[in-house]
Amino acid sequence: MENVDIVVSGAGPAGCIFALTIDEKFSVTILEKKSKSELGPDWIDGFDRKLIEDYDIMKYVEKLADSFGQRFYSPDGSASIAAPLSERIEIDRKILAQNLISALNEKPNITFIEHATVKTALITDNSVVGVQYEKDNQEHSINSKLVVDATGHPAVLRKNLAEVFGFKKEIEKIDTFLTFRKYIKRPTSLQTKEHKIFFGKDHGISWINSEMDDLVDLFAGVPNFSGHKNPKERVQELETQLKEECSSQIDLKPVRANYPGIIPTRRCLDSFCVNGFLLIGDSACQVEPLSGSGIASGMLAANLAAKLVNNILQSGQKLTRANLWQYNHEWIQKIGAQHASIDIFRLFLLSRTERDFNFLIRNRIITENDFKKSLKGEKVKLGLFELLRRLWRGWTRLGLLIALRTAINDANKIKTAYLNYPKTYDKELFEQWQQKKEKIFKKYYNLAKKFNK
C-alpha cells in the first residue's frame, strides 16, 4: 500500500490551491475523476479580489475584465438598486484550471492521478488514515497523515464519514440552487454594459451580464423545492428580454457552457475537520449564500488550511481535530460569520412572495446601502429617524416591514454568534455554540419550508 503525507480528493480550485500551498518537503497525491484537460467549468466568474489578494493566490488568477458592480432588479423589473463593487474582477474558469495544473506540474512533491474515483476513507482508531479509490476498474488504497475532501457539492468523503464523525451527510434541498447557464455572442446592437440581476424572481437569482466585450452571460438559479421552475426556462425568458433590448435579430446559439448544475447556497458547515481529515470549498459549503458563488472563498479556505497543516507537520505534531481547529476559527472569523449573516436574509427572502420583493425594492425599503452592507456581511443598523422614514414609505405593509426589521436584527445576532466561535476545540463549548445559533436559524427554516410546501 502506498504511503504519502497528504491525499487531496478533487482538483478544483480549492484542491489545487491547497496542494500548491503545502511545503515541498511533504508528499501530496491528488485524486481526480476527470482528466487534466477536462478541469474547470466552461464559465466566466466574478469575485471580489480583496478576498484573496493578500494570500499568494492571485498569481494563478488571470483577470479578463473589471466588473463595476451589479444592479439588482425587482422580480417584475420595475425598480432597481445599484450595488457597486469596485474590486470585483471577472475570470475564465478554464484558464484558471490550466494555470493551476501548470503550477502543479512544476511541483516535485505532488503526484496527480487522473480518472481516479474515490470510494471511501480508511479509518483507524477514530482517525482518517487514507482512502480507497478506483482507477481502470482496479481498487487502490493510499495511507496518509491527512485526507482532504475537495470534491465540491458531491462531498464524497464527507458523506462517507458522516455517521462516524457527525458531519452533515446531505445538504437540505432548501439550501441548494438548481442552475442553468449559457453564454452567447454579444449582439452588435446591444449598447449597454451592465450586470443586471433579477433578485427574487422564482425565489432565486437570475442575470443578464453584458459587461464583457464579446459575450453575454445568461444565468438562472432557483431553490430546489418541489414544483420549482426549470432554470433553463428562466434563461429562455432572459433571452426574450435581451431580444427586446436589441434593435435587430440576435444569435442565441450558445458559445460556452449551456448546461445545468446544482450548487450549495447556505452558510458553511459548523466544523471542517476531524482527526486526519479536512473539508475545503463547496464540500464544506464555503460559499456566498445568496448566489452560491464559492470560487474565491474556497481558494481562501484552502490557503488557510494548508498553511496550518504545514506548521503542524513541521512541528512533528499529529493532524488531530484539536490541532486543525484553528482552520475552523480562522476561516469563520475572516468570512464565515459574514456568510452566516447573509444566510439569514436568504432564508427570510425564501418565505416572502414576489409581490413582497417588488414592494421592498420599488419603495426603497431595501436601499443601496443595505445591499452593499449585506453583501459584505456588515451589520445593517436602522436608527430611529431612518426607521421612521422607511415606515412612512412602507406604511401600507407594516407586517412586512416588521418582519424585515426582525430579520436584520437576527442577521446581526448571528454574525456576533459566529464571531464568538470557539477558538479551540472543546466538545461541550462547541455544542453550546451550535445550540445557540441554531435557535435563530430554526425559526427561518420553518418559515421558508412552510411557505414553500
Are the CB atoms for 219 and 181 separated by under 8 Å? Answer: yes
Where is pLDDT greater, at 370 or 233? Answer: 233
What pLDDT does 391 receive? 54
Give the percent of the chain with pLDDT over 70.
91
Give the β-pairing of 2-9 and 63-67. Answer: unpaired
Q: Which of these ranges, 75-89, 235-249, 318-332, has the smallest mean pLDDT?
A: 75-89
pLDDT confidence of 86, banded at 50, 70, 90? low
Buried/exposed code over 327-345 (b: 16+ C-beta within 10 A; e: otherwise):
bbebbbeebbbbbbbbbbb
Cα 28 to Cα 35: distance, rounded to the nearest angstrom: 18
Copy the grid coordinates of residue 49.
479580489
Domain 2-62+88-172+269-337 homologous superfamily, CATH: FAD/NAD(P)-binding domain (3.50.50.60)
Average pLDDT over residues 52-75: 80
pTM here is 0.93
User: Which of 62-71, 222-231, 430-439 shows the lowest per-residue confidence on average (mean pLDDT)?
Assistant: 62-71
Least-confidence region, from 211-220, 229-238, 355-364? 355-364
pLDDT digits (tens, 9 = 90+) for 150-196: 999 999 999 999 999 999 999 999 999 999 999 999 999 998 888 89
Looking at 3.30.310, 3.30.2010, 3.30.43, 3.40.1350, the CATH number of the domain 174-264 comes to: 3.30.310
Percent of the chain with pLDDT over 90: 73
pLDDT at 199: 87
Q: How do residues 398-451 score in pLDDT, each as one tens digit? A: 788 888 889 989 999 999 999 999 999 999 999 999 999 999 999 999 999 888
The beta-strand segments (E) located in 49-97 are 63-67, 70-73, 80-83, 88-92
**8, pLDDT greater than 50:** yes
Position 384 scores a pLDDT of: 44
What is the b/e burial string over 164-198, where b = at least 16 CB atoms within 10 angstroms of the residue's CB? ebebbeebeebbbbbbbbbbbebbeebeeebbbbb
Q: Which residue has the cell 504545514?
A: 310
What is the per-residue pLDDT across 129-153, written as a single tens digit (0 to 9) for each? 999 999 999 999 999 999 999 999 9
Mean pLDDT of the chain: 91
Mean pLDDT of 30-42: 96
Grid cell for residue 38? 477536462
Taking alpha carbons only, the member of 131, 136, 135 closest to residue 150 is 131
What is the rounded distance in angstroms from the CA atom of residue 448 to the CA atom of residue 451?
A: 5
* pLDDT at residue number 211: 87
- DSSP E strand boundaries for 155-253: 176-185, 195-199, 205-209, 215-223
Report how far residue 424's alpha carbon sits from residue 124's, in angstroms, rounded to the nearest whole number.
24
Q: What pLDDT, on the 0 to 100 scale, is given for residue 191?
A: 87
| Distance between CA atoms of residues 303 and 17, nearest Å | 6
Place of cell 410546501: 453
Q: Where are the domains of the chain?
A: 2-62+88-172+269-337, 174-264, 339-451
In this prediction, residue 228 has a pLDDT band, given cuts at 50, 70 and 90, of: confident
pLDDT in tens, 254-265: 999 999 999 999
**pLDDT of res. 396:** 64
Which one has a higher pLDDT value, 276 or 61? Answer: 276
pLDDT at 385: 46
CA distance 322 to 108: 30
Phi, psi at 31, each rounded to 5°: -110, 120
Is it the case that residue 390 has pLDDT exceeding 70? no
Beta-strand runs (E) in 210-341: 215-223, 254-264, 273-274, 277-279
Average pLDDT over residues 381-410: 69
